[in-house]
Amino acid sequence: MSAAQIDEADEVEGVDAFRQRARAFVRDNLRRIEPGEVVGILRNDMTDEEELAEVEHDRKLQRMFFDAGLAGICVPREYGGQGLTPAHQRALNEELLGYEFAARMQSPTMSPCLAVLLDFGTEEQKRTHIPRILTGEEIWMQFLSEPSGGSDVAAALTTAVRDGDEWVLNGSKVWTTGAWWSDWALCLARTNWDVPKHRGLTVFILPLRREGVEVQRIALLNGFRDFCQEFLTDVRVPDTDRIGEVDDGWTVGTRWMFHERMLYNSPYVTAPPGQGHAGVGTRTILLAAREAGHLDDPQVRDLVGEARVLQLVGDALQERIKDGMTSGALSDQAAAIGRLYTGLAQARTTAIAYEVSGADGVVWGDDDGPLVDVGTDYLMRQISCIGGGTTEMARNVVSERVLGMPRERTLDRDVPFRDVPRSAS
């Protein structure tokens, strides 16, 4: 390659040119999604075989994005990414509207996991895993929550003990979505019980298909069985798979949870806009109202309007938070404002769908079209206020970190973790 050619290749692709390229790829390669094809909250409408086939399909899609130079838009080129900007990512996302995408590759794989690897991984860790994530070979999970508690993440009981160049992990993690078909995990573990809780944690890279890792599936109340609990028994991890310093896992964990709160705003996530409203949306509500024959009822119209208001306000709020955090006008902690809004708005939207369904919301037949299962979604209403950290925890962050109000008094601050009172188990 001549010097001139190298220069040309290194020149950053403009957003408009990039958008054209993305559009061509999307139109030529991806299947259009029928409006309303994806409905409901974590509905259990696939057999395991079908689900595994979907996972394979998502991996294949991810590979196609990669081959087209459309994977890892904001990931540096040395790790297989494109080295472009959030504006490019946004253009790609916009072009994806109405098309299939590699849904199972995004959260938590791209964010928070890949984001955490970029922030804290060693050069070797990044070169090993990031290209394989971008080509769809590795799907990651986040191992934060434990049966003993998820809000108080720093109170993790899963323990890692050093043994020469290795660590030996024991304990249990829970609520991982899809661990039964995933490959790797970021795992927060306790490495020191004799210091206060935040100072005795370390983060590890954990292979899921390894001896000692037992993955059990959990049935949610609607029959959905993608959530898992993992039991770790003497799992051996080389020290080279440690992320960050020993006992300094909370530094990593803080960024980790920041990336988690970014959700679909993360510059590493490739998904059409509006994923924040996945589940029950305005469209479901409109279809349900129409099916019920109540679309002319002013009360129903009020509810349809309310759902749309929540959706568009949510979009505007996420934009504002993203802009504010980018420009520094808002602190990074402001992501919790978006998290709180989204949790409540989704729960309310689910309730609205149920409300407009009338009696068919609680009892239905197979031929009731969009009204089928709306009631079950409603039973799952609070999930948007729990997953990804509860809305109560978000309220703590907003009041304490954004508004600067006094922190809650805690009884675990300056005490060795060993002596901190714990849930009865």
Partner 1 sequence: MQFDMSSDQEFFRETTARFLSDRVPVAELRRLSEGGAGYDDDYWRQGAELGWTSLLVDEAHGGGSISGDGLADLALVAFEVGRHAAPGPLVSANVVASALGSAGGDAHAEVLAGLLDGSALATWASTERRPHDRLGDVALTVRADGDELVLDGVKRPVESADRAGHLLVTGRTGDGLTQVLVPTDAPGVSVRPLRGVDLTRRFAEVRFDAVRVPASAAVGEVGGAAEQVERQLQLALVLACCESVGALQSGFDMTVEYASDRYSFGRPLSSYQALKHRFADMKTWLEASHAITDAAVAAVSARSPQAAELASVAKAYVGDRGDELLHECVQLHGGIGVTFEHDIHLFLRRQTLNRTLHGTPAEHRQRVATFVERGATHEEDAA
Ligand X SMILES: Cc1cc2nc3c(=O)[nH]c(=O)nc-3n(C[C@H](O)[C@H](O)[C@H](O)COP(=O)(O)OP(=O)(O)OC[C@H]3O[C@@H](n4cnc5c(N)ncnc54)[C@H](O)[C@@H]3O)c2cc1C
User: Which residues form the interface with ligand X (CB under 6 A)?
Assistant: 108, 142-145, 149-151, 175-177, 383, 386-387, 389-390, 392-393, 396
Structure tokens at 413: 């601050």
User: Residue 14 carries which DSSP code?
Assistant: P
Q: How far is the CB of 300 from partner 1 (least distance, A)?
A: 8
Long-range CB contacts (< 8 A, 24+ apart) of 108-111? 108/140, 108/141, 108/142, 108/177, 108/260, 109/133, 109/138, 109/139, 109/140, 110/266, 110/268, 110/269, 110/270, 111/259, 111/260, 111/262, 111/263, 111/266, 111/268, 111/269
Q: How far is the CB of 302 from ligand X (least distance, A)?
A: 29
Return the number of the residue (327 or 425) whose C-beta is nearest partner 1. 327
Structure tokens at 242: 């440690």
Structure tokens at 276: 């924040």
Interacting partner of 319 out of partner 1, ligand X, none (Cβ under 5 to 8 A depending on kind): partner 1
Q: Rounded to an integer, what distance in angstroms lies between the CA atom of residue 114 and that of residue 109?
A: 6
- Per the CB < 8 A criterion, the answer to whether 270 and 71 are in contact is yes
Q: How far is the CB of 387 from ligand X (least distance, A)?
A: 3
Return the number of the residue (38 or 295) whose C-beta is nearest partner 1. 295
Return the number of the residue (151 or 216) whose C-beta is nearest ligand X. 151
Q: How far is the CB of 22 from ligand X (least distance, A)?
A: 29
Return the number of the residue (130 or 393) whose C-beta is nearest ligand X. 393
Interacting partner of 29 out of ligand X, partner 1, none (Cβ under 5 to 8 A depending on kind): none
Q: How far is the CB of 46 from partner 1 (least distance, A)?
A: 24
Q: How far is the CB of 178 from ligand X (least distance, A)?
A: 9
Mutual angle of helices 335-357 and 282-292, in 10-degree steps:
10
Q: Rounded to an integer, what distance in angstroms lies between the CA atom of residue 212 and that of residue 199?
A: 27
Q: How far is the CB of 34 from partner 1 (least distance, A)?
A: 7
Return the number of the residue (48 or 392) whose C-beta is nearest ligand X. 392
Return the number of the residue (125 or 396) whose C-beta is nearest partner 1. 396
Interacting partner of 306 out of partner 1, ligand X, none (Cβ under 5 to 8 A depending on kind): partner 1
Interacting partner of 316 out of partner 1, ligand X, none (Cβ under 5 to 8 A depending on kind): partner 1
Interacting partner of 175 out of partner 1, ligand X, none (Cβ under 5 to 8 A depending on kind): ligand X
Interacting partner of 308 out of ligand X, partner 1, none (Cβ under 5 to 8 A depending on kind): partner 1
Interacting partner of 387 out of ligand X, partner 1, none (Cβ under 5 to 8 A depending on kind): ligand X
Nearest alpha-carbon partner for 43 in 347, 326, 278: 278
Structure tokens at 28: 């030529």
Return the number of the residue (170 or 177) whose C-beta is nearest ligand X. 177
Q: How far is the CB of 186 from ligand X (least distance, A)?
A: 9
Interacting partner of 115 out of partner 1, ligand X, none (Cβ under 5 to 8 A depending on kind): none
Q: How far is the CB of 341 from partner 1 (least distance, A)?
A: 5
Return the number of the residue (144 or 334) whose C-beta is nearest partner 1. 334
- Per the CB < 8 A criterion, the answer to whether 158 and 232 are in contact is yes
User: Which bin fits 341, alpha (ψ -120 to 50), beta or left (φ > 0)?
Assistant: alpha
Residue labelled with tokens 């679309």: 295
Bridge partners (DSSP) listed for residue 229:
174, 216
Q: Rounded to an integer, what distance in angstroms lies between the CA atom of residue 260 and that of residue 263?
A: 6
- Per the CB < 8 A criterion, the answer to whether 178 and 226 are in contact is yes
Return the number of the residue (334 or 394) whose C-beta is nearest ligand X. 394
Residue 38: Cβ-neighbour burial (10 angstroms; 0-12, 13-18, 19+): middle
Using CB under 8 A as the criterion, which residues of the chain lie in contact with partner 1 when the complex forms?
34-35, 282-283, 286-287, 295, 298, 301-306, 308-309, 312-317, 319-321, 323-324, 327, 329, 334, 337, 340-341, 344, 392, 394-400, 402-403, 405-406, 408
